Amino acid sequence: MEKTTKILFPYDQTLVKELPLLNSNDVENILNTAQKLFNDQSNWLPAFERIEILEKAASIMSERSEELIHLAISEGGKPYKDSKAEILRAIKGVKLAAEHIAQIKGEQIPMGLTEASLNRIAFTSKEPIGVVVAVSAFNHPLNLAVHQIATAVAAGCPVIFKPSSNTPLSGLALADILKEAGLPEGWLQVVLCDNETAELLVTDSRVHFFSFIGSAKVGWSLKSKLPPGTRCALEHGGAAPVIVESDADFNEMIPDLVKGGFYHAGQVCVSVQKIYVNEEICDRFIEQFSQATNKLIVGNPFDETTDVGSLITPKEVNRIEEWVNEAIENGAKLITGGKRISETCFEPTILLNPSEDSKVSTNEIFGPVVCIYPFTNREEAINKANALDVHFQAAVFTKNIDIALSTAKKLNATAVMINDNTAFRVDWMPFGGRDASGLGMGGISYTINDMTREKLTVFKSKSI
């Protein structure tokens, strides 16, 4: 009997679509298709064709943006205004990938610097790395697909893309659009499969590059099983700490942190989770932050006024409820929220001073919960912000340039935002975690470079 996966609208759990899952017997054909394309250089797509395909795809996406927005909402549950922002970012990402193809280039390596290197000219060139397998997450179903698929197309690599089983429709739509834009058969294969079959794909020796976006547990486990020579990039999560100093601008900061904490119900790998607030302003901060949080509209993500939608599954609501209750039982003060609204929605929640060993303090929450910790000594706050083994993006709010730069230097993070929330991202910047939070840096141009490899050519001639 054929296995299937059901895609449900996260808000009310109604069926959107049921799709068949591949099984382990299909893996061989999928990998063979990709390997054959790559091994025969006559199949390789020249740069101008890759540019044309991606530019056409971006154009089609723009024409169908409303359709793509509704598709992303139906499977991912992100509110309309945020899903619209994601689709616009995805279109820009495809354009960025097309533009970067012109920057895939090598350089001349000097010769003649020693007697032994006379009569030679040397240069490097960039080639596609080979077959790419990409495993993606649910929270940005179209934009993440762009970051893993459009980059592979730009680099000239055949790509096998496994979307989240909760949100495969956006990736399938992107595949259809790329095919319509002229991407030849086999260069992109979207696979829906269980974890066991996905592992067979990822760990095959024919795979040259593995791109992963998801949980640290799964990412590091798969990395440990990669065959020799397979390169990889892993993007996991973090706890996104924020340091708020006494001179911070409340008018700018409060709406910024509310957005950063509760955007997509906190289901973002750099969502604001831990805010360390100078004790001098903590009462004022709590008052204004909670007032702004209480104004957020939680509801149906198709409603254009909704600020916070549902979590991806009811199981996640149960988990968030357990973690919040545990924190309160262990001494945290509930400032606002703290309760489930329905089977699929949870109130935007603020906790004050949860214990250091509560799950909300030691783990990535990945839900609509923000924790506030008052501090008197900034160095101690920074040490606490750095204490976990996950380090991704962080932030500091202050108008003092010395404090800003000093704090940015001391925070263990790949990116520190000054007077901006931790969830800030544009798709041409480097983006990724360090330590347990990941390996390598994402961002359209950075990923394309990862998916290429360098070749040195040395030409010897007495005429040189």
pLDDT of 239: 95
Structure tokens at 426: 């544009």
pLDDT, tens only, 174-229: 999 999 999 999 999 999 999 999 999 999 999 999 999 999 999 999 999 999 99
Give the CATH number for residue 73: 3.40.605.10
Question: Are residues 251 and 390 part of one domain?
Answer: yes
In the beta sheet, which residues pair with residue 126?
454
Does residue 431 form part of some domain? Answer: no
Does residue 427 form part of some domain? Answer: no
Question: Long-range contact list for 197-200, CB < 8 A, 24+ apart?
Answer: 197/21, 197/22, 197/23, 197/24, 197/26, 197/27, 198/135, 198/162, 199/225, 200/24, 200/27
CB distance 310 to 10 below 8 Å = yes
Question: Are residues 392 and 264 part of one domain?
Answer: yes
pLDDT, tens only, 43-75: 999 999 999 999 999 999 999 999 999 999 999
Residues near 342 by beta carbon (within 8 Å), at least 6 away in sequence = 310
| Domain count along the chain | 2
* CA pair distance 175, 210, nearest whole angstrom: 19
Q: Of the candidates 188, 236, 182, 138, which has an alpha carbon nearest to the alpha carbon of residue 48?
A: 182
pLDDT of 23: 87
Question: Are residues 335 and 213 part of one domain?
Answer: no
Give the CATH number for residue 363: 3.40.309.10
Question: Are residues 274 and 227 part of one domain?
Answer: no
pLDDT of 286: 98
Does residue 166 form part of some domain? Answer: yes
pLDDT of 2: 79
Residues near 297 by beta carbon (within 8 Å), at least 6 away in sequence = 303, 305, 306, 307, 308
**Cβ neighbourhood burial of 1 (10 Å; 0-12, 13-18, 19+):** exposed
Does residue 315 form part of some domain? Answer: yes
Question: Are residues 176 and 283 part of one domain?
Answer: no
Does residue 464 form part of some domain? Answer: no
Print the domain residue range for 455: 4-236+437-459
Question: Are residues 248 and 231 part of one domain?
Answer: no
Which residues of the chain register pLDDT less than 70?
A: 1
Using CA of residue 156, residue 437, residue 396, residue 325, what is the dihedral sign? positive
* CA pair distance 432, 444, nearest whole angstrom: 12
Question: Are residues 129 and 47 part of one domain?
Answer: yes
Residues involved in catalysis:
235, 269
pLDDT of 25: 87
pLDDT of 226: 97
pLDDT of 450: 97
Question: Are residues 267 and 190 part of one domain?
Answer: no
Question: Are residues 204 and 60 part of one domain?
Answer: yes
* CA pair distance 221, 51, nearest whole angstrom: 35
* Main-chain dihedrals φ then ψ at residue 166, nearest 5 degrees: -75, -30
CB distance 407 to 378 below 8 Å = yes
Question: Are residues 307 and 200 part of one domain?
Answer: no
Does residue 424 form part of some domain? Answer: no
Does residue 425 form part of some domain? Answer: no
Q: Dihedral of the CA atoms 360, 293, 368, 172 (nearest 10)? A: -150
Does residue 162 form part of some domain? Answer: yes
Q: What is the pTM assigned to this prediction?
A: 0.96
The amino acid that residue 279 corresponds to is E
Question: Are residues 267 and 222 part of one domain?
Answer: no
Question: Are residues 176 and 154 part of one domain?
Answer: yes
